[in-house]
Amino acid sequence: MTLEVLIKQLPNINLIDFFKFWEDKQDIFMIKHDGPREKDKYTLIILAKNSRFESIRSDCSNLQIGLGKILIEYQEILKRFNA
């Protein structure tokens, strides 16, 4: 599955398929649930292997929207760095 396909399928994808996407990637993706907060309950982070680019972080209340935003940002960075 490509990153473009993953982004398009986000509204309907389950987390197992989402994490399978990362299995063959060199970069690290993390999701953290921050507990009983009113706002920004999720922290999403993408770390680049070998510091190819700075880490990407997103705090969000809606996991689906947050995933879409961080993946689009990741896609743009990969294009910029030809990574």
What pLDDT score does 67 carry? 94
3-class DSSP state for residue 79?
Answer: helix
Query: Where are the chain's structural domains?
Result: 3-81
CA atoms within 13 A on the CB side of 58: 20
* Contact of 60 with 69, CB cutoff 8 Å: yes
The predicted structure's pLDDT at residue 45? 97
**Letter for the amino acid at 41?**
K
Tens digits of residue pLDDT in 63-75:
999 999 999 999 9
Candidates 3.30.160, 2.60.40, 3.30.70, 3.40.50; CATH matching 3-81? 3.30.160
The CA distances from residue 70 to 21, 23, 36, 74, in Å, are 15, 18, 22, 6
- Note the pLDDT tens digit of each residue in 17-59: 888 999 988 899 999 998 888 899 999 999 998 888 889 999 9
Q: What's the predicted TM-score (pTM) here?
A: 0.86
